[in-house]
Amino acid sequence: MDTIKILAFCLFIFGCTPSKSYRKEGNNPSEQLVIRQISEHVYQHTSYLQTESFGKVECNGMIVTDDNEAVIFDTPADNPSTLELINYVEKQLGSRIIAVIPTHFHSDCLGGLEVFHQRNIPSFAHHKTISLASAEELPIPQIGFDKLFELPVGDRIVIAEHLGEGHTQDNIIGYFPDEKIMFGGCLIKELGAGKGNLEDANVKEWSQTMRRLKEKYPYTRLILPGHGKSGGMELIDYTARLFEQQP
């Protein structure tokens, strides 16, 4: 049984998460971009954003591939890393990128969006993301949706959905139903994380959004947060407790 099939079997039976990349050592695009296969059809991309408040921050995104097509959730934090990501997906994975979907309007989600547009790759985002990015003079996604958006990738689909406010008013999640993998973006925290950047947050609604998310996707096996380590449904529970309003 080849490596990818073993990985898929392991994830299906045990719900485990691989601890390292399944590529040969040194095959990542650069030190500024790490790509890690986490299931048969899903990859995690990680780039780095230098911030004043939190220093150098790891920023995650998700790639879903099938039948030589790919959809990417969130761009890397800068243009050079974004170009590396696009080239990697096209050349190393042999997939045509049919869409990029930023999960909210901050630069760690759409900082490299212009590179996708230069390569004629369409971008989709919540209407609020488009409005907020425009107001902040950030790269602007091209095509808007309201609440729920489904997009074919090969013979499968990916889902983007807005279930309420939290980290920002426009934050959405990405979901790949075939493997029950969610990209939570900055809406979902890794275990042990602090509250992070609350500049645009709705802390009063955050826990309720987590409850709606858990109710809508109760069988999720693996969750990728916007920053930090992946996990299971305990990430949703942890985030809900973190922002639970005290009486």
The residues annotated with a catalytic role in the active site are 104, 106, 108, 167, 186, 189, 197, 227
Q: Which residues contact 31 (CB under 8 A, 6 or more apart)?
A: none
Q: Is the dihedral of CA 66, 67, 71, 72 positive or negative?
A: positive
Q: Which amino acid is at 70?
A: A
Residues 6+ apart with CB under 8 A from 152: none
Closest CA to 124 of 108, 113, 115, 135: 113
197, HSE (Cβ side, Cα atoms, 13 Å)? 16
67: left (phi over 0), alpha (psi -120 to 50) or beta: left
CA separation for the pair 242, 194 (Å, rounded): 8
Which secondary structure element, helix H or strand E, spans residue 215, and what is its range?
helix 203-216
In which element (H, E) is residue 69 found? strand 69-73
| Cα–Cα dist 131/170, whole Å | 10
The neighbouring-strand residues paired with 158 are 151
Cα 199 to its chain centre, rounded Å, is: 20
